């Protein structure tokens, strides 16, 4: 087996960082400590740069189709961009399945799409649809097959009602599963959106007004009340508001087990962008919020009140958003690209600017997602872990644009942002993917990962 010795780096770990070395043999990490000597190993001098575990993105939509519209990239292009940004593992949310399909349809479809096309390793979430009946046997079999996490929507046509959520919570407890929640109040959204459309208020500036902050916080509070009733652990995806964060903190103070995820867009962008010329670029659910919400979320990452930072990567193009949403924002496909920019932005805006420590950066981008989602061999620079390793050159500074990024989409919502700190090297299970800033992987080698909680 090949030996690789990474020397002279700042070794980033969630539990504490240090200056030292990492030794890799084959696909695994052998050692990570202050000084390692191994004459047989190929030497990589990190030169004081940051050496961290490969990123784990807990929330992607790289293969999404909705209402006959598909995202711009797909597995191969999206995961290649992920590698450029230092992410080596993703966990994909499938599209809604056709009516009458078994629960396994969507996850099996994603595994097929990723097979031999993914540059990153990947897991898959289940998706529960309120329009379908799901048997205990289906859930148990899928969890046994390595799909222990499932998505529940409280809005959209496939949303689940309380009468379906409560028994589902109990089933997931029984089978050692974990439910993820897109938490927005559907009745509020439908009432406000309908009212705006009736009054012909359909420009992008009305998007955040149709999904206000209390729309998210009420849904979170409601889900947590159901979870308190059943004793179920809860994972809230793409948290965007200080109000929603408050509900999570209060539930935790009462002893509930709650995981919170946010995304770079809610940390770095705000709702004023909806009044800009390209306001449709930022159509996503939930929408961008106020600057006060941004600061509350940064503080929560630093304090540990937010556990993970995902992307909710969903790369509908500017062209598609203009085609469908120019006359009516409520017809625009929702979602933004971000799979390549998550880790550089969080490092630059967080670590460089002193908002969060290196340890918290590693925790929310890699270690915590791996632990919470049941990816036991990822997210840590420790003996026996997969050799998913990233070297970040903290002096590499760029201005983000669609020309400077590798995502297969015609814009970036972070256009013009100055970012400092990009991967110079990336390994996936000990295999070089990016070397001295050059993409060296000749073909996709990512594997489907079975996960168990």
- Determine the pLDDT at residue 133: 83
- Whether residue 411 is contained in a domain is answered as no
- Whether residue 413 is contained in a domain is answered as no
- Determine the pLDDT at residue 78: 98
Of 146, 102, 161, the closest CA to residue 127 belongs to 102
Those residues of the chain that have pLDDT short of 70 are none
**Full-prediction pTM beyond 0.85?**
yes
Domain extent at residue 281: 55-372
- Whether residue 165 is contained in a domain is answered as yes
Q: Find the helix packing angle between 104-114 and 136-144, rounded to 10°.
A: 30
Taking residue 424's Cβ as centre, other Cβ atoms within 10 Å add up to 21
| CATH number for the domain harbouring residue 301 | 3.20.20.140
- Determine the pLDDT at residue 31: 97
- Whether residue 434 is contained in a domain is answered as no
Characterise 170 by phi-psi region: left (phi > 0), alpha (psi -120 to 50), beta (else). alpha
DSSP-assigned states of every residue in 32-78: EES----TTSEEEE-TT-EEEEPEEEEEE-TT-EETTEE-S--HHHH
- Determine the pLDDT at residue 131: 81
3-class SS shares of the chain: helix, strand, coil, % to 5: 35, 25, 40
CB 242 within 8 A of CB 296: yes
- Determine the pLDDT at residue 215: 98
CB 88 within 8 A of CB 387: no
CA 116/CA 375 separation, integer angstroms = 20
Characterise 238 by phi-psi region: left (phi > 0), alpha (psi -120 to 50), beta (else). left
The domain tally of the chain equals 1
- Determine the pLDDT at residue 66: 86
CA 153/CA 147 separation, integer angstroms = 18
- Determine the pLDDT at residue 130: 86
- Whether residue 443 is contained in a domain is answered as no
- Determine the pLDDT at residue 352: 97
- Whether residue 32 is contained in a domain is answered as no
- Whether residue 393 is contained in a domain is answered as no
Which tokens sit at 279?
């306001």
- Whether residue 164 is contained in a domain is answered as yes
- Determine the pLDDT at residue 67: 84
């Amino acid at each position: 087996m090949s030996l690789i010795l990474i020397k002279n780096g700042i070794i980033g770990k969630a539990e504490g960082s240090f200056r030292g070395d990492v030794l890799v043999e084959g696909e695994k990490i052998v050692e990570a400590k202050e000084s390692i000597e191994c004459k047989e190993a190929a030497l990589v001098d990190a030169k004081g740069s940051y050496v961290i575990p490969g990123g784990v993105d807990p929330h992607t939509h790289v293969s999404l189709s909705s209402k006959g519209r598909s995202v711009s990239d797909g597995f191969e292009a999206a995961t290649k961009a992920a590698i450029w940004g230092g992410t080596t593992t993703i966990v994909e949310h499938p599209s809604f399945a056709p009516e009458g399909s078994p629960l396994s349809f969507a996850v099996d479809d994603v595994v097929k799409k990723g097979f031999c096309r993914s540059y990153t390793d990947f897991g898959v979430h289940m998706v529960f649809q309120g329009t379908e009946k799901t048997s205990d046997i289906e859930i148990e079999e899928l969890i046994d097959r390595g799909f222990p996490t499932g998505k529940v929507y409280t809005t959209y046509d496939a949303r689940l009602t309380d009468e379906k959520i409560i028994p589902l919570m109990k089933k997931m407890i029984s089978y050692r599963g974990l439910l993820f929640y897109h938490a927005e109040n559907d009745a509020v959204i439908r009432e406000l959106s309908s009212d705006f459309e009736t009054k012909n208020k359909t420009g992008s500036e009305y998007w955040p007004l149709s999904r206000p902050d209390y729309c998210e916080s009420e849904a979170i509070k409601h889900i947590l009340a159901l979870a308190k009733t059943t004793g179920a652990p809860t994972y809230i995806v793409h948290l965007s508001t200080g109000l929603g964060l408050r509900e999570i903190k209060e539930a935790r103070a009462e002893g509930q087990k709650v995981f919170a995820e946010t995304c770079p867009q809610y940390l770095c962008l705000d709702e004023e962008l909806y009044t800009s010329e390209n306001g449709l670029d930022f159509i996503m659910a939930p929408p961008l919020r106020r600057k006060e919400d941004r600061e509350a979320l940064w503080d929560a990452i630093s304090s540990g009140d937010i556990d993970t930072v995902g992307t909710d990567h969903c790369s509908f193009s500017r062209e598609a958003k203009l085609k469908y949403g120019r006359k009516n924002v409520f017809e625009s496909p929702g979602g933004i690209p971000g799979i390549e920019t998550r880790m550089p932005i969080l490092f630059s805006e967080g670590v460089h600017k002193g908002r969060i420590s290196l340890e918290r950066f590693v925790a929310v981008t890699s270690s915590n997602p791996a632990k919470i989602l049941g990816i036991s061999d990822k997210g840590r620079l420790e003996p026996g872990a997969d050799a998913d390793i990233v070297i970040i050159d903290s002096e590499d500074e760029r201005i983000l644009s669609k020309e400077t990024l590798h995502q297969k989409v015609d814009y970036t919502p972070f256009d013009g942002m100055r970012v400092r700190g990009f991967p110079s090297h990336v390994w996936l299970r000990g295999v070089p993917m990016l070397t001295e800033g050059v993409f060296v992987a000749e073909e996709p080698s990512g594997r489907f990962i079975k996960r168990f909680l």
